[in-house]
């Protein structure tokens, strides 16, 4: 049986999101790995694993993701959304779950970074989807919905210690002052604590946040309108999490999974596949010099950068063809040019695949 490797922006072997990474083997606490962006959240996950030995990866994700919305001021709240690759030992297939924020039905053009660019908040919808579909994925809920949020409710109310410098910066923002205790260097979010309490007390399949004209739905809509967005309560009520089979590809002794959508995950998969091709067929690990290895990897990055602006033009079948047909061709091409200067223009082809939007522009790779 091949080992599983998941590739996604902000990635984990079993579950991934933008704010946190989790790699977990459910039902075996000795093989559970949790990685987050804050020590407090990692320790919280450890406590849950100890209290609920059969806790599942999606449940751990909900806990740690919520935690990071408390401890990281730049991610304050539940965040805009996430995307995930989910693989379970009981199910050979992998699932790509898209719970990213989405624009409303009416989006007037507005250049620049303005409130009009805010999408439908989708984090909670994703949490619901994960918890409500555990059994479908061959998993069994180990933690009651209300308990998933209990420690985070307490954390938001109690506050989190922050550095002197961060406290000083946050204090300069007038709206933040009510959340700060400068003497103790603690950051509170009592509003989030109350909101999480409401979420915990509501059923996971009937969050009023996404029910049209419910009190919570109306409050959200009023707050969004106050800052100038065009999101309506219809947009929020109509939001749906999507789920598709993940894109799969063999890489050495691994089965790699990533998003079925064109994006950063596929770029990582392409780059990893090119490196694996050099290792398995061209003596990368046994005969190459350090300079040759460096030159090869820089050129792999060059093709990843070249492909990035064109990704949305490709469908899943075409992406799969790049991995199976074009990677061997491209690897040989790169190897032949290891001693030559790096091109300064964006590539026009990946193997036999033409980049449909290609144009001659200067390519700058920053290190």
Percent of the chain with pLDDT over 70: 80
Q: Percentage helix, strand, coil, to 5, in the chain?
A: 45, 15, 40
What pLDDT digit, counting tens, does each position of 192-221 carry?
Answer: 899 999 999 999 988 888 888 888 888 888
- Computed over every residue of the chain, the mean pLDDT equals 82
Q: What is the rounded CA–CA span in Å between residue 71 and residue 179? A: 12
Of residues 89 and 120, more confidently modeled: 120
Q: What is the rounded CA–CA span in Å between residue 296 and residue 337? A: 9
Confidence of residue 300 (pLDDT cuts 50, 70, 90): very high
Q: What is the rounded CA–CA span in Å between residue 203 and residue 68? A: 23
DSSP output for 80-107: S-EEEEEEETTEEEEEEEEE--B--S--
Confidence of residue 168 (pLDDT cuts 50, 70, 90): confident
Confidence of residue 81 (pLDDT cuts 50, 70, 90): confident
Q: What is the rounded CA–CA span in Å between residue 157 and residue 193? A: 6
Query: Minimal CA–CA distance to 69: which of 82, 83, 57?
Result: 82
Rounded to the nearest angstrom, the gap between the alpha carbon of residue 212 and the centroid of all alpha carbons in its chain is 28
Domain ranges of the chain: 3-162+188-244, 262-354
């Amino acid at each position: 049986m091949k080992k599983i490797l998941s590739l996604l922006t902000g990635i984990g072997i079993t579950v991934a999101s933008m704010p946190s990474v989790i790699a977990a083997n459910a039902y075996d606490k000795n093989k559970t790995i949790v990685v987050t962006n804050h020590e407090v959240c990692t320790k919280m996950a450890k406590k849950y694993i100890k209290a609920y030995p059969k806790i599942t990866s999606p449940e751990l994700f909900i806990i740690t993701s919520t935690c990071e919305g408390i401890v990281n001021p730049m991610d304050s709240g539940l965040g805009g959304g996430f995307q995930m690759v989910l693989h379970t030992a009981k199910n050979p297939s992998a699932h790509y779950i898209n719970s990213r924020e989405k624009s409303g039905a009416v989006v007037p053009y507005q250049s620049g970074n303005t409130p009009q660019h805010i999408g439908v908040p989708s984090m909670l919808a994703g949490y619901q989807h994960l918890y409500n579909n555990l059994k479908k994925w061959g998993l069994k809920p180990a933690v009651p919905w209300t308990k998933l949020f209990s420690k985070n409710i307490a954390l938001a109310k109690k506050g989190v210690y922050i550095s002197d410098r961060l406290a000083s910066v946050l204090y300069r923002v007038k709206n933040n002052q009510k959340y700060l205790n400068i003497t103790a260097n603690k950051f509170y979010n009592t509003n989030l604590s109350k909101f999480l309490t409401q979420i915990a007390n509501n059923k996971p399949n009937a969050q009023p946040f996404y029910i049209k004209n419910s009190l919570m739905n109306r409050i959200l809509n009023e707050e969004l309108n106050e800052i100038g967005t065009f999101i309506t309560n219809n947009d929020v009520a109509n939001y749906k999490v999507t789920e598709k089979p993940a894109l799969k590809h063999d890489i050495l002794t691994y089965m790699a999974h990533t998003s079925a959508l064109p994006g950063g995950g596929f770029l990582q998969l392409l780059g990893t596949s090119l490196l694996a091709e050099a290792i398995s067929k061209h003596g990368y690990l046994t005969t190459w010099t350090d300079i040759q290895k460096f030159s090869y990897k820089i050129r792999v990055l060059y093709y990843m950068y070249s492909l990035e602006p064109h990704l949305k033009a490709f469908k899943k079948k075409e992406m799969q063809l790049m991995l199976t047909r074009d990677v061997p061709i491209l690897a040989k091409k790169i190897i032949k040019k290891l001693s030559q200067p790096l091109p300064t223009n964006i590539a026009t082809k990946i193997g036999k695949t033409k980049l449909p939007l290609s144009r001659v522009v200067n390519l700058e790779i920053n290190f």
